[in-house]
Every structure is written in C-alpha cells, then in structure tokens.
Amino acid sequence: MRLIIPLAITFTSGMIMILNFFIPHQPFALLGENLQEWYMIVASGAIFLGSANLLHVHFRKTRLKLKNWKYSPVTIVGFLVMIVLGLIYGVTENLPFDYLFMNMVAPMGATMFSLLAFFVASAAFRAFRASNWRATLLLTSAFLVMLGQVPIGAMIWDKIPLAKVWLMAIPNTAGQRAVMIGAAMGVVATSLRMIFGIERSYLGGAD
C-alpha cells in the first residue's frame, strides 16, 4: 500500500491534467482547476515544512557545534526576526519588515550576485579560448557582442552594433529555442516516467 497508493494518486492526477490540456471540457476542466488549487495548497504547506527544516538543521548544527556552526545562530535570529516583524507589522512599505528587507536582505543578495560575477568571468575566460573552430567562433561572437554594447564599438566600425543585433536576434535566439525545446522534452519524459511509475525517487526509496 505504501507504494501503490502514491503511484495511483500520481497516475490519476497526471492523466487528469493531460486530458484537461487536450480536452478542456467537463468534467476534465473542473477536475483540472481543482487539482491546480490543491497544488497551491500543497505548495503553501511546503513553505512551512521548509521553514521548519531550516530551523531544525541550524539548531542541530549549533547544538552539536558542527562545521561553520557560528553562522547558524545568525540565520536563526534573522529568520525569526523577519517572521515576527512580518506577522506584527505586515509587509507593506515604510514598516520594519520592509526596512530590514531593503537595507539588509537586498544588499546581501546584491553582494552574492556580485561575487558570482567573478566566477562567471573566470569561467568565461576558460571557455573563450580558441582551441578549435567552435571555440574560436564563440570567442569572436562574444567579442562582437561586447563591442556592440559599448560606444567604442561604433567608433571602431559602424557595422559592429548591427552585427551585435543580428547575433542576438538570429543565432542566439535559435540556440535559446533549442535549449528550451530540449528542456521541455526532458520535462515531458520525466513527467511520463513519474506518471507511469517508472521514476520513483519522489517516494523516498519505497520499493
């Protein structure tokens, strides 16, 4: 039963959503809407479970003094302070929650993305090496796009901005579409594997 019931629920829900997409009439339309509402309810419950898990992990890390445990009390205090202020004062502008978010959370997020920029630059330096004709093509395209973004590109040659626009509109769009099609096919394949019970990792190792 531990295996059959979750598989039956997954199969039934998946087939209802597929039929609702291809046959948008009753009773599939109503069942599809109800399942989408249930999805929002389950997703909301998952937020509370994630919050409880966050506190559990960091309380345990602090209690056992595991590696880098000194950061855990900061996480716990910050998490609880934001929750309390949000529940008491709300989350609208010019209130304590908004003040802390705009002056602490947002700058920390900006700092994180700024640090990631250095890793992106390092990865780009390693990738943009003309070791073969493909890498040479990538390097040349990146160089033209970067030149087209700044005024000096037009000063060097007035066709560079036009080349940048063409590269972004034609080859880049084609590459993005190929990636999106591949990702969509992967989602479809994984969904079908879950619906038909082939993929069972979400069951937590149930046999």
Model confidence pLDDT, tens digit, residues 37-48: 888 888 888 888
pLDDT(206) > 60: no
Kindly state whether residue 94 falls inside one of the protein's structural domains: no
pLDDT of residue 73: 92
pLDDT of residue 122: 75
pLDDT tens per residue across span 161-172: 888 889 888 988
User: What's the whole-model pTM score?
Assistant: 0.56
Render the chain in DSSP notation, one character per residue: -TTHHHHHHHHHHHHHHHHHHH--STTHHHHHHHHHHHHHHHHHHHHHHHHHHHHHHHHHHHHHT-TTTTHHHHHHHHHHHHHHHHHHH-SSTTSHHHHHIIIIIHHHHHHHHHHHHHHHHHHHHHH---SSHHHHHHHHHHHHHHHHHSHHHHHH-TTHHHHHHHHHHTHHHHHHHHHHHHHHHHHHHHHHHHHTTS--GGGTS--
pLDDT tens per residue across span 75-128: 899 899 998 988 888 877 788 888 888 888 889 888 888 888 778 777 777 766
Kindly state whether residue 190 falls inside one of the protein's structural domains: no
pLDDT of residue 56: 93
What average pLDDT does the segment 190-197 reach? 83
What average pLDDT does the segment 18-42 reach? 84
Kindly state whether residue 21 falls inside one of the protein's structural domains: yes
Kindly state whether residue 182 falls inside one of the protein's structural domains: no
Kindly state whether residue 191 falls inside one of the protein's structural domains: no
Kindly state whether residue 85 falls inside one of the protein's structural domains: yes
pLDDT of residue 93: 79
Mean of per-residue pLDDT scores for the chain? 84
**Boundaries of domain holding 83:** 1-89
Q: Band of the pLDDT at 150, cuts 50, 70, 90?
A: confident
The total domain count for the chain is 1
Return the minimum-mean-pLDDT range out of 34-43, 44-53, 123-132, 178-187.
123-132
pLDDT of residue 59: 92
Kindly state whether residue 46 falls inside one of the protein's structural domains: yes
Kindly state whether residue 154 falls inside one of the protein's structural domains: no
